[in-house]
Every structure is written in C-alpha cells, then in structure tokens.
Structure 1
Amino acid sequence: NNYLELNNSDPISIEFKNVDFTYHSRPNLRIINNMSLKINANKFLGIVGRSGAGKSTLMQLLLRFYRQESGTILINNQDTILLNPAEIRKLIAYVPQEASIFSGTIRSNIIFGNNEASDDEINEIIKITGIEEFAAKLHDGINAKIGERGVRLSGGQKQRIAIARALLRMPQILLLDEAMSALDTISEQKLLNAIKKIMKGKIIISIAHRISSIESADRILVIDKGIVAASGTHNDLSKNSEIYRNICREHS
C-alpha cells in the first residue's frame, strides 16, 4: 500500500466535504447525507441528535472503520483515504459509552493506551480523572485487581478509566461517544474541565447524552437524518433552533 505520509506539522484540523454514507445492511437508509463540516485545532465540538441520526457513524468514518460512499474526509488537509488507517488511529482516541475493561489492575487498564507513559504522567491522569479518589479507598489502590474476580466497579468508575486510558495516549483528537453518561452532572463537569485543559490546542468531539455535557462547546451540531440541521453555540441554538430546544427538553 502506497500511503501518503501523514502531515503532522500543522495544528490538527478535520474536514468533511459532501460526505455520503449508507450501511450495506440497510441500503435504502442514507445515514450521512451530503455532510460538510470543518473543525480546527483548540476546538470543542458537541454533537446532538436523536438515536439513529448518524452521530456515531461520523466518528466511525473518521476512524476509517467504514469508508464513505462519496465525498472527502480530510485530516490536516489530507484525504484520509490516502492515509494509513493505523496512522490515523494513532492521532485519535475514541471512548464509547460502554467502557471496555479487561482483567488486570486499574493501572494496567489505564496504561494499555500507552505503555511508555512515565509514573508522573500516569499519576497526573489518575488525579484529574477522579480515579485517585475512588482507588484510595481500595486496599491495593490503583494496583487493585478489576475485571473477572476483581473489585466490582460502577459504570462511572469504568468510564473514568476508559477516559484516563484515552488521555494517556496524548491524542490530537478525542472522540467521546456518550462517554460520561454514567456520571452525575457535577462529576461530569469536573471531568470535562480537566479534559479541556489536557486537550488544549487539540480537538474534542463529544456526542452528548445530556445537554449539560456539551453546553460549553465552541460549537454544537444538531444532526438530523444524516444532515447538519443546525449549528451554533448552546445559546444561539436555544434561541434559534426548534429541533435543538426539543432535544434539550428530551435530554435534560
């Protein structure tokens, strides 16, 4: 495969140009419909929309798990089809709603993203993601065994571990797919503020399960039937977009 060399010198940017996508299993249902959007470095983009609107599919196209039917997806102004998917995935950390935790220790679950991380880096991530707080109550701290026959973790604790693992990879692009759904609003805000500090100068894209998780985004996209039905800040959309107001009511 003669892939292009990924251009890493510029600040990170993402662009979708007239992207169409349909799943083979549902050929009559266009999931992404002529979608165009651009996201520059140092931006936090929120995405909302009803179930099946195409939100998660956007993330999967960016990760090259699927290939768009038409249109172009660019990272740093380079067509992702010409880039090695493995190189693209090195830039991106993806955190789904269902946090994957395997048998091992809390620590081994976190460094799975980056075995080269120093103790200082690991300790900082553990602190800011709120893991230190609950690990301190365990007999072995972050060396406590989790997974099968290990300490049972709550949904929120698992999500914190998955986010810590993603952040430790030092990604250029962080994709959060309802990744804090098990946390209460206050914990979520605290964690989000920490994530924004670490991801300064980079890109965060967050699919929201509740509006509070993306209220502070630089821009929010309202996705409906595969198109961007509206876009703006939370305040803009609250005033001008009926579909956004409806989603706010449903997601509050």
Structure 2
Amino acid sequence: MFFVTGTDTDSGKTLVSTALLSAFNREAARAGASRLSLGVKPVASGCEITEKGLRNSDALKLMSASSLKLSYEQVNPISFEPAIAPHIAAQQLGVNLSPEAILSKLDRAAFAQADFCLIEGAGGWRLPLGEGRYLSELVQQLNLPVILVVGMKLGCLNHAVLTQEAILADGLSIAGWVANCVDPNMSVFEENLASLRQLMQSPCLGCVPFLAEPNAQNAANYIDLAPL
C-alpha cells in the first residue's frame, strides 16, 4: 500500500495514480496472474450531486482503473460538494475531519484484498484538516511509503525538494516520484528533469508528458513499476 501526494493541487495525482494502477493491471495480465489493484481517495471536495449521492470525478477515475471493485463509499468515504479546501467545507458542515476520524472511515479489511493499493491524498502534503492537524498525520498513523507526483512547471524544483524534506522529516519513506508535465510550454523541461533526478533521493517511476488525451491507459505507457 502506498500514499500518493503531489507537489501542489493540480499536479496530476489522479492521472498518475490511475496510470500506476493501469500499469500494474497490464503487468498482471501479461503474467497471467490474478492480482488485484485498488485506488482510494479518502477525502474529496468539489463533488457533484447525483441521484446516488455526492460523487467526485477523481474517485470515479480511481474506481474505473481498479481491478478490485468496491462501493463508492468505500473508495471515497468523505466527500464535500463545494470545490474548496476540505477543512473549510468540513467546518461549514460540522464534520469531524481529524486524522482519526478519517482513519475510522477507511475499510482497511477491504483494502487488504488488493495486491497493489494506492491511497490518493488531496492537495499537497500539508493539507490542513483544521485545528492544527494535517492529512500527513494520517499517513504517519498508517506508516505508508509515499509516491510523490511532481507537477512539472516553473517552480517545481523548489516544491519537490520542500515536499521531499517534509515527508522525510515526518519519518516516512518516499518509494518513488513521477514527473508529470502540467505545462506544455515549460521552458528547459529536460534540464529541470535532470535537476530533479539529482535532487530527489528516491527513484523516478516515470515521466508523463503533456498528453492530448490524458487518461490512465496513455499515461501508463510512461510508468515504470520496477523500482517499487
């Protein structure tokens, strides 16, 4: 089980998470192995009201890319309609968003059925939960290795190094990182990527270019699971 975080909001956590799941599914199929994958998003804001309840597009994409099929509520147990910081939405609704409250809603028995499980965060590493608490504390309680998605744009080197420092300072390990091109016009892209390879202390799991069709299957072509 891994926790997927990003250098910022819109760094491409969901695209990379679904690509990782898709790459795992491909390898399992090639090997003829019955191995299950699962993507989970415990907290999500910016959800749509449907006849079945609130639904988050990122959580739905994770469900589609997962070979282990769970209910929506198991994949995304805490959801908010407004596209605002989750702790503010929680305060408005009087919802307890502490790490312990989130942990209590995770169906870890169901997650254990998966051979490859990803828990996708929200925002960046220090996502506030209110009252001085952070989502990173949940990762500490679960003691999960982290996969860092670096949104490739101007400023990404600083964001990547600071996030790496924070994760390591929290006593957690980084299993690997993925470069995801979010700015198709980023200057000196290759030079920035080379700098990242020097600055990051964990293996690179892939470099996803800016895709005309950014979906799990296309992005999976640029993922290498071997270091995991």
* TM above 0.5: no
TM band (smaller chain)? 0.3 to 0.5
What TM-score results when the alignment is normalised by the length of structure 1?
Answer: 0.31
What TM-score results when the alignment is normalised by the length of structure 2?
Answer: 0.33
> Greater CA radius of gyration, 1 or 2?
1
